[in-house]
A and B are shown apart, each in its own frame.
Chain A
């Protein structure tokens, strides 16, 4: 595709093309809320601000007044601590949480979401080094997850494999890259990029039944690192979480400055924050550890 466009551009247009720099009106900055919260945990939210596209410097907002509501009842004001606003309350499954943040000079923002029920996992299969791929000159692991779905509602899921390892005497935790599976449950999610670090999907095609999703993950890292363990994570996620995750990778892919930019429409980022940007979304984790 890019090649075709390139050929057209070079052959027909290049002689006439002129490039000029132009200015655009500056958008008024808005508050940006980032908070992914799970059950039985404290809420940690960060607040910063958007900036006009041609500017570079983000500022830290440390004077926000953030009120947390549970099922529409005000429960506390979050406390700023080392770049993050934290609650003392521990969240609960199936409660609706709402955040209201006020900062001088900005519009007040509001966002709310729920924590879904923990997923019912029947089985998790895990092979650390399943095969060697000479094309990539490295090993791939394999995981299979059997999910029992609740058929009364639309459910959303996220799966990922997190790898913990020693590197230069430090313990590092990183999600692995996933080889995109041909399972239609995942491949029908058109936004799947190559080698994502997570897969999100709905129960649309297995509503109310049991489904096993199998995928491979990249497990060929620097030879000097030393694996400790792996954590296979299956999150039940809210619809807001799903919409945000589904767009995140594609959004960043399509904003790169290659020649095809003019022909490919950008993907707009999802937000559920009223009067502002960012994400406030709940999830509920099921995980299993596998040791090296």
Chain B
């Protein structure tokens, strides 16, 4: 800490004598006014490079009274140059034009800040346009599934929109939508992510080397930014797909000053299923499921110094199942209704304020909510007597947050980021209520876990500086305080990252990060079902902790290819898990009675990534070798066991190719070591009770057949691999562009295992008669996603 302060003072002192002035401003898309995040601002005279921040803002030192040429570039856009001579601080905005001519893109690519010069590591960003080009089931492009194709990231089970980053569990990923956390980011039982790509501007995944501004998750940060809405002209997009259909509209309320975007998506399955199930069952069964989400955002620019944003997200999944039986007598009715709902709400207000050319601030006020509810209603009418039984299960998490972040561009070699935040959490880890109404009598019973409130405060400081031409460093410290009931958990989390240029096109990177996570996810499924329970750290359950070390090499080859190799070692502590045999609704009232605490985890591995970002053909090749284990005192007899998604080998190839101006093709192939599961491989008989007092006949029947599992997660399912392909046809129409998107999931119809199970199975003779004594146990595999072709149509205007 003392060293950090010395460094800060040195650079601040140094600044006062420099003959430099500051130029700052925003980089935006010329056609839409959308802010460009991580655009490169390059001073051709001094060779200095800065990147725009999450709001498209940059600040750069230039020599006073000298001719300076600044070029600004961004992937997929034409770069622009401006030459000027100024003698005082100045605000200059840049507007870049989107370019379809790929050859031009190759030219500008040379000016993007290359990977080896970026003072960051373990960071992945995929342009939304590239995500939309990837093959997808039902034509529903998915941010999370695209990230799963990167090294160090896994999906868990096939089709799931969960992330397992560097051996971490899904709850250890901080999912930020416009700087606000979302807790459960899946629709459709975990198979579609909540992020609608039509409403998203950018996505960035950080797997390690975490900047101090991020906290409260152990394994990764997924920073998703919504679009701001076209500030130039009205436009929109309509898509009809096999999973969902969606519409987006955006435009200026006042040109270049106020704009909005509204994007809505809905699954339409229930419209058909309700009707079909009702007709086919003659009204005895009605079932339906749908999800929807709405993203909305409005922003207003008061001046170059003040800009406000209001963004909202509303997402919900509704599952409905009703059976009715009145066959015996019209006066006797049995009705059962099950309703399952879950979803997120989020609202965030943000204010960007420039205190000066060098001091940028962002203030955020937000509220986010996740809730899950299951309602079962049973109605019985018999001899005009009605009995009604209603059981409800509710769980949820509610956060109100305020924070302010500052970015201080002190000198051309030193940037200081700092900020504070406070969050008020309300946790409802699960309340079950029963209501029985019989004749005139009503009985109400409520039991389960108590609501819990907690306050979390944090402060951080990040020092980004360059020492000479070759070494850039980011040293940071985050302080976190979590207050729950009568307990305070404090943590000081050091963060360090260094990037050293070995040659002009190759660097070595190293990082260290400590993290604390104050919430936990209790899961029995491991699949990412909404029934997984978010629970807080309490007086008895300490926050999760992690330490991660990473070391890597980065290189740009032929100015077109990014190559990187990274190794990491991660320690996890204070993990929780259900006790062996405990389940969601098991008899104990409070979740804390059902869990094991103080679990440990270790993950380590090596990741290789070769990526081509520019040209007619883009894509990447990723490979990960990794190992991830867990250990709890009372699970697996205290022995260390493989994490369920411990995957030794993980390989992916992703390719996009522009065949013609109006046709894109894409393909992905993935391979992964089989999932680790607990599966019986032997069986034997074991004695039930002491034989004392039993007769000899009883002694022989005093045995139970038991199974031997070889340890928790000791068995590997078959390896996973599949090929997906997609093709997109674009056509310019009078008022816009239409696109047909054809995809094939699992082209060669690989039967990848979803789960294994044992089943007793008997044989039948040729006449269809059951053969006595033929029953024996067999192992079976369920596969979910065979060869699936799909099509979607979209129209952009």
Say whether B779 contacts A4, CB under 8 Å. no
A228 within 8 A of B: no
Give B544-594 interface residues, CB cut-off 8 Å to A. 578-588, 593-594
Tell whether A264 pairs with B583 under 8 Å between CB atoms, given A18-B751, A18-B782, A20-B751.
yes
Chain A neighbourhood of B526, CB < 8 A: 263
B769 within 8 A of A: no
Q: Does A73 contact B (CB under 8 A)?
A: no
B319 touches A (CB below 8 Å)? yes
Provided the pairs A7-B338, A257-B759 are in contact, do residues A52 and B751 lie with their beta carbons within 8 angstroms?
no
The interface residues of chain B lying within 8 Å CB-to-CB of A279 are 686-687
User: If the complex has contacts A16-B784, A17-B783, A56-B776, are A269 and B707 also in contact, measured as CB distance less than 8 A?
Assistant: yes
Which A-B residue pairs are the 4 nearest by beta carbons? Answer: A50-B684, A262-B755, A34-B687, A27-B682
Partner of A19, one of B191, B760, B780: B780
Residues of B within 8 A of A10 (CB): 287
Binary interface encoding of chain A residues 234-264 relative to chain B, with 1 for a CB under 8 A from any of its CBs, else 0:
0100000000100010111011010001111
Tell me, in angstroms, the Cα distance from A175 to B692 when the chains sit together: 12
Q: In this assembly, does A44 line the interface, its C-beta being within 8 Å of a C-beta of chain B?
A: yes
Within 8 Å by CB of B594, from A20, A36, A190, A244, lies A190
How far does the alpha carbon of A74 sit from the alpha carbon of B707 in the complex, in Å? 32
Nearest chain-B residue to A235 (Cβ)? B690
> Cβ of B688 < 8 Å from any Cβ of A?
yes
CB–CB B686/A32 < 8 A: yes
The interface-forming segment of B10-18, B172-180, B248-256, B693-701 is: B693-701
CB distance from B550 to the nearest CB of A (A): 32
Known: A4-B531, A248-B706, A263-B527. A34 touches B686 (CB 8 A): yes
Q: Say yes or no: is A3 at the interface (Cβ < 8 Å to chain B).
A: yes
Establish whether residues B692 and A11, one from each chain, have CB atoms under 8 Å apart when the complex forms. no
- The answer, yes or no, to whether A82 is at the interface (CB within 8 Å) is yes
Mask, B516-549, CB within 8 Å of A = 1, is: 0000000011110101000000000000000000
- Asked whether B786 is an interface residue with its Cβ less than 8 Å from the other chain, the reply is yes
> With A12-B188, A248-B704 known to touch, is A4 a contact of B374 (CB < 8 Å)?
yes
A173 touches B686 (CB 8 A): no
If the complex has contacts A12-B191, A279-B687, are A266 and B706 also in contact, measured as CB distance less than 8 A?
no
Partner of B777, one of A11, A29, A54: A54
The minimal Cβ–Cβ distance linking B716 to chain A, given in whole angstroms, is: 10
Would you list 19 pairs from A and B whose C-beta atoms are within 8 A, ordered by A residue?
A: A1-B584, A3-B338, A7-B319, A13-B784, A16-B788, A21-B779, A21-B780, A22-B756, A27-B710, A38-B690, A54-B777, A187-B588, A255-B706, A262-B525, A263-B527, A265-B524, A268-B636, A269-B686, A279-B686
Measured between beta carbons, the chain B residues less than 8 angstroms from A19 are: 780-783
Identify whether the interface residues of A are mostly helix, strand, loop, or mixed: mixed
Bound-complex Cα distance A215 to B121 (A): 62
Question: Which applies to chain B's interface (DSSP): helix, strand, loop or mixed?
Answer: mixed
Which residues of chain A are within 8 angstroms of B579 by Cβ–Cβ distance?
A: 190
Q: Restricting to A11-54, which residues have a CB under 8 Å from any CB of B?
A: 11-13, 16-25, 27, 29-30, 32, 34-36, 38, 41, 44, 46, 48-54
A residues less than 8 Å from B712 (CB atoms): 265, 268
Please report which residues of chain B, range 766-797, place their CB below 8 angstroms from some CB of chain A when the two chains form the complex: 776-786, 788
Residue among A3, A16, A29, A58 with max Cβ neighbours from chain B (10 Å): A16
**B783–A20 CB distance below 8 A:** yes
Whether the pair A257, B678 counts as a contact (CB closer than 8 A) is no
Task: Please tell me if the beta carbons of B594 and A269 are within 8 angstroms of each other in the complex.
Answer: no
Residue of B289, B586, B682 touching A53 (CB-CB under 8 A)? B682
**Cβ contacts under 8 Å, B308 to chain A:** none
B578 to chain A: which residues have CB within 8 Å? 265
Q: In the bound complex, how far is the Cα of B682 from the Cα of A156, in angstroms? A: 30
A267 interface contact, C-beta 8 A = yes
A162 at the interface (CB under 8 A from B): yes
Q: Complex Cα distance A82/B189, Å?
A: 56
Closest to B581 in A: A250
Interface 0/1 of B663-691, CB less than 8 Å to A: 00000000000000011111111111111
Chain A contact patch, size range: 35 or more
Contact at B689–A197, with CB atoms within 8 Å?
A: yes
Contact mask for chain A residues 258-287; partner B; CB cutoff 8 A; 1 contact, 0 none:
000111111111100000011100010100
Q: Is the CB of A266 within 8 A of B678?
A: yes
Within the complex, the shortest CB–CB distance from B377 to chain A, in Å, comes to 13
Q: How far is the CA of A187 from the CA of B593 in the complex (A)?
A: 11
Measured in the bound complex, the distance between the Cα atoms of B425 and A277 in whole Å is: 49
Chain A residue with Cβ nearest B137? A16
Structural contact, B708 and A27, CB atoms closer than 8 A: yes
Number of B residues contacting the other chain (C-beta, 8 Å)?
A: 87
Within 8 A of B (CB), among A198-255: 198, 231, 235, 244, 248, 250-252, 254-255
Q: What's the Cα separation between A255 and B757 when bound, in Å?
A: 10
What separation, in Å, do the CA atoms of A191 and B524 have in the docked complex? 16
Whether A263 contacts B698 by the Cβ 8 Å rule is: no
Report if A11-B287 is in contact (Cβ < 8 Å); known contacts: A50-B682, A255-B680, A266-B678. yes
Q: Is A166 interfacial (CB-CB < 8 Å)? A: no
Say yes or no: is B118 at the interface (Cβ < 8 Å to chain A): no
A267 close to B581 (CB less than 8 A) = yes
Q: Which residues of A contact B679 (CB under 8 A)?
A: 24
Is the pair A41, B692 in contact by a Cβ cutoff of 8 Å?
yes
Enumerate A171-206 residues with CB–CB distance to B below 8 Å. Answer: 173, 175, 187-188, 190-191, 197-198
Contact between chains at A263 and B708 (CB < 8 Å)? no
Asked if A278 meets B636 with Cβ closer than 8 Å, knowing A18-B783, A263-B527, A269-B707, the reply is no
- Most A-side CB within 10 Å, residue of B683, B757, B782: B683
Smallest Cβ-Cβ distance to B273: which chain A residue: A11
Q: Is A8 an interface position by the 8 A CB rule? A: yes
**B394: Cβ under 8 A from any A Cβ:** no
B718 contacts the other chain (CB 8 A): yes
Query: What CA separation (Å) do A22 and B780 show in the bound complex?
Result: 6
B711 within 8 A of A: yes
Taking A50-B682, A261-B757, A267-B581 as contacts, is the C-beta distance between A8 and B189 under 8 angstroms?
yes
Q: Cα distance A26–B723 when bound, in Å?
A: 32
Given A20-B780, A279-B686, A285-B690, 19 more A-B residue pairs with CB atoms under 8 Å apart are A7-B319, A7-B340, A22-B756, A54-B779, A58-B685, A173-B695, A248-B686, A251-B706, A252-B704, A254-B581, A255-B707, A257-B760, A263-B525, A267-B581, A268-B711, A268-B712, A278-B686, A278-B687, A279-B687
Residues on the B chain within 8 Å of A257, using CB: 757-760
Write the nearest CB–CB distance from A77 to chain B, whole angstroms: 21
Which A residues touch B525, using CB under 8 A?
5, 262-263
- Given the interface pairs A17-B783, A173-B695, A277-B708, the reply to whether A48 lies near B685 with Cβ below 8 Å is yes
Most chain A CB inside 10 Å of its own CB: which residue of B584, B708, B755, B758? B708
Query: Are B581 and A285 interface neighbours, CB within 8 A?
Result: no
A44 to B374: give the CA distance in the assembly, Å: 53
Q: Is A151 an interface residue (CB 8 A)?
A: no
Considering the chains assembled together, what is the distance between the CA atoms of A78 and B688 in angstroms? 22
Nearest CB on B from A155, distance (A): 18
Is there contact, CB below 8 Å, between A48 and B684?
yes
Among residues 127 to 174 in chain B, which have CB atoms less than 8 Å away from a CB atom of chain A? none
B443 CB to closest chain A CB, in angstroms?
A: 15
Q: A207 to chain B: closest CB distance in Å? A: 19
Q: How far is the CA of A38 from the CA of B693 in the complex (A)?
A: 12
Residue A83 interfacial (CB < 8 Å)? yes
| Distance between A250 CB and nearest chain B CB, rounded to angstroms | 5
Q: Which residues of A contact B587 (CB under 8 A)?
A: 187
Bound-complex Cα distance A180 to B761 (A): 35
How far is A191 from B287 in the complex, measured between Cα atoms in Å?
A: 36
Per-position 1/0 for A49-91, Cβ under 8 A of B: 1111110101000000000000000000000001110000000
Contact B778 A50 (CB under 8 A): no
B169 to chain A, nearest CB (A): 15
Q: Which of B188, B524, B689, B757 contacts A175 (CB 8 A)?
A: B689
Q: Within 8 Å of chain A (Cβ to Cβ): is B740?
A: no
Q: Is B376 an interface residue (CB 8 A)?
A: yes
Q: What CA separation (Å) do A111 and B687 show in the bound complex?
A: 15
With CB as the reference atom, state the residue of chain B lying closest to A172: B698
